[in-house]
Amino acid sequence: MGIEKTNLSEIDFSKHYKRQMENSTFQGKSAADWDEKSKNYLESMRESDYIKRLIEAIDLTGAETLLDIGCGPGTLSVPMAKKLKRVFALDYSHGMLASLAEECRAQGVKNVIPLNRSWEEEWSDIPQADIVIASRSLEVKEIKEALEKVVSKAKQKVYLTFNVGGSFVDEEILEHIQRKVIPRPDYIYLVNTLHQMGIYAKVDFIRSANNKFKSNDSESFIKKVKWSLGELTPFEEEALKSYFNNVYHKKQDQSFTEWALLSWNVNQ
């Protein structure tokens, strides 16, 4: 009996990605969700070392413009604007763009152009830029379509970051509430989809301190876990309260998140 051979070119990785996204415990957030989140998001991001490490990894040689997709409150757009002629900051949340405007005023930055658009909308009027970045914002249902949009807007280089492992909640937290989750697609789906598009991305990793659930009290901690998991049962809330009071608050500075950094030069 012969061994059936599988040709990787015959596997539709974007289709498998979509199926796992649809089945995942971690569903996408609406613009309204991020509008609400924007009120405190900038301050929480200031404590993260992720942005610093990402900026260090980005090569600005020969670049004058940058498109920041999923810019949030400007944690990346604003420092990049200080080094470039112009930054286009794109987000589908009006709240995040309002926070971006406040941060630009506070930092004296006047060369950031805000753009209100989602991944699903039409992008023909979105300008091209020397460098395109999608930092932790590629949580889309149609990954190939999103990647094609990214490619169409980049003149020189592209940088994408994506969660490693597909889960947005620490395994230890899940164990304490006895919750089984279906993760989102891992970064390898992006690598393989890009490969089938004729793009051979370099893959690096950013390991950053995880302050996503950092809290001063159990109530805030439970609220942050609920943001990722959705509604919690009374049992789960009690388990989280006990876990925070007895374990997590003593070691929350020891939690880390791994991000895959995919990058490539355009037309090479």
pLDDT tens-digit readout, 38-57: 666 666 666 678 899 999 99
- pLDDT grade for 147, boundaries at 50, 70 and 90: very high
How many other C-beta atoms can be found within 10 angstroms of the C-beta atom of residue 136?
16
**What percentage of the chain has pLDDT greater than the value 70?**
89
- pLDDT grade for 238, boundaries at 50, 70 and 90: very high
Asked if pLDDT for residue 146 goes beyond 70, the answer is: yes
**What percentage of the chain has pLDDT greater than the value 90?**
58
Place of tokens 């926070």: 99
Q: Mean pLDDT score of the chain, rounded to an integer? A: 88
Q: Kindly report the CATH number that applies to the domain delimited by 12-168+184-214+256-265.
A: 3.40.50.150
> Cα separations (Å) of 238 from 121, 171, 181, 221, 224?
41, 18, 19, 12, 15
**Rounded-to-integer distance, Cα 70 and Cα 135, Å:** 7
